[in-house]
Structure 1
Amino acid sequence: MLARALGGDIPRSGDSDRTDALAVLADFRADWFACLTSRPAELFELTDAVLCADGPVKTLVGLALAPEHRRGHGALYDGLNHGRLNIARLRMTLAALPLPRAIDGRLVLAVDVSPWLRPDAATAPRRSFCHTYGRGKDKHVMIPGWPYSIVAALESGRTSWTALLDALRLEPGADVIAVTAVQLRQVVERLVKAGQWQDGDLPILIVADAGYDLHRLAFLLADLPIELLGRLRSDRVMRRPTPPRVYDPYGGRPPRHGTEFVFGRPDTWGEPDQETATATSRYGTAIAMAWDQLHPRLTRRAAWIGHEMELPLIEGTVIRLTVECLPGGADPKPVWLWWSGTGGDAADVDRLWQAFLRRFDLEHTFRLFKQTLGWTAPKIRDPEAADRWTWLILAVHTQLRLARSLATDLRRPWEKPAPPERLTPARVRRGFRNLRAKT
């Protein structure tokens, strides 16, 4: 079945694109059922109930009233609490599906953490304090819950679609960067094994937001065919390369770091290596300035406290992005980005900051999970059951993505018509009940 999803050597003479897309969707549904090793019928019908329920999912027991769920509410809870699924096989299935690519043909992945908040579940085990934003300006609140690290492939252009590849619950006290590095390594290895990346292809670009130690990630994943791109705080200080050594009659240890590059002090920047100005429809003129071969000065504390060898010099490119205006009239502030590559030209700088903007498509996926698919609606006590429900939601979203070209726009009277390629996941879900019988 995966051979058909990958466009293998299965003959299909005269089939249309719609028939091909329907075959890929049907194959994934069969593979999803095969991944369910215990209580498969209950979990499969629960998946269809989430796909075909009218309106947003508000409660878990309400899914038992959907026509697609032919069992009672007791079987629903039994499947979620005592069911089993082969996560390794499901991860490989997701990696083998057709994935979106950037304009230049490379894979662009995004990684981020989304919390499943459980502040009132005092008896729920293995909760962590999840970082959330309060209602006040620059207000941060730590709330107990289960944080999940999500990896997805991004599309090019403005869209609310992503191709989900992995989900991992972060244990309390875990080293987030180390766990994320292992997760990304496994995702890349599965993509290589599935034939999504081959020797000679462009490196896979991984995009992350602020909060990730990009330099440590680059060090841990240096042996993979990837590039890292992420946002930095505006108070960071970088160092330039070491200047050429000049003979010193008094001797002494040669310096390892060059002069400082302080984000908040323009007098330390110097002339940028690359500078571009791009006209956009939403932000006015976007100006990007890039400085090559900058690195942070690492110290033996925090994540590097147990590093026995000499601390590495992790060079990259710093990009400063400014725009004329923001939607809604907010005051635009500069965005600082760091790219693990060096020696980029003006085209690379434009490609990188536009790829970073696509990272926010993952936020649309998180909002769909919580507001429409009801990811955080169930009051689950067992974290293993929460993992099963999370993977079920990923399977739901994947089916919606595969049905994107098959769905009919069942719009509300107050909604504007949308072409098939511009349908949102929520609007594709409205018509999935009509597709279910054909799969």
Structure 2
Amino acid sequence: MMMMILLRRVLLTGLLGALWVEVSALGQVRLVNGHDKCSGRVEVLRHEQWGTVCDHGWDLREAYVVCLELGCGLAESALPAAAFGLGQGEIWLHHVQCSGHESSLTRCAVVLQRNIYCTHENDAGVKCSGRLLRPTLTLLSPHTVISLGESVRFGCSVLEGHSLSDFHLYIQGVSTPLVTQRAERSQTRVELTLSDVEMYHQGSYSCQYRVKGGFPSQLLSSPPSNSIDITVVELLTPQHWYNTSAEAPLGSVIKGHSFNITCSTLQLYPGGSFQLRLVRSNGTVRRTLPALTQSVTFTFPNAQSSNEGYYYCLYRVQLDGRTFLSRESQPLPIAIRDPDPVLSPMVISWLVSGLTFVVAVIIIIIVVKVLCNKQRKLPELERETRTCVDNTYVALSINKL
């Protein structure tokens, strides 16, 4: 039985070339007596007269061609036995055989001669969706937040295949698709992969599919699917610098003085934080502050030897359950120096010498006063007319002797 059916289809298809002259006389296709413009009895125009189509061999492939030709989307059902009432006039098409890829019902393989078994009780009808079905976009990747260079995978699917042409992935605001995937026959779902993601790939995504239909043949696009938002994270390498007292040499902090280190980034994300890492000879120390602004400052009020080492800044953010880390900044070396002495050895030497001279002068003055007082009490040795200075000279001379 199956062999007979296949043989009949082959023979009918082969007759297409011989019958082309008469088929070319067929014109428009319309739907009559339906619930709307996309359902009803199928009628074709030939020699300026409308006629019907026999339902022998009538199935979804033929209905699919009719729906696309009329811009009515996809075929929901192929209805036989005059489901939309009996037609009038001629039955123009018998045993229509479509593959589903034709642009018009009149381009399918047909048998034009009369068939005594076909009456208007066998008039064929269709019910179309009214427009192409809306596809569904799903996210196949585990996250909607990705970093530069990663890939994101989407799935685009439609409830019925019906010889779809291809699927397209669009980003909102751009008219050309970012990804196109051809569909195999009757394929209802494809995977669309966006590779090597850049910052301009951030946005809202949707998909569409296209089918061939209409007369003359054209590609019909489905309505856009639901949308999925994708966030692309680009964490720039932070910048950092430090501030301390002006008297400290470059790259150094004086022990006991305060200093601070500022970390900064141009790209800020909600919930981000800065981490300051100190690498020392005996280990690593980390401090973290929330990134409420593009810059944060880590303060060290009393510099000690434990604060000496190489400082690095990095920016960290958690989005969609993922942790993203920037590259570390360049190392910032900081040395802790002991404070300089208040007085240098040379200054101390000068001060000691000066102090010694002052003390010596004071001692001499005291001695002179003492001697002067003694000279006043010895009238036989001194006279009132002698000055105190002469006495001092004499006294000093006597002492030397």
**TM interval, short-chain normalised:** under 0.3
Q: Which has the larger radius of gyration?
A: 2
Q: Which has the higher contact order (CA 8 A, sep 6+)?
A: 1
The TM-score normalised by the length of structure 1 is 0.17
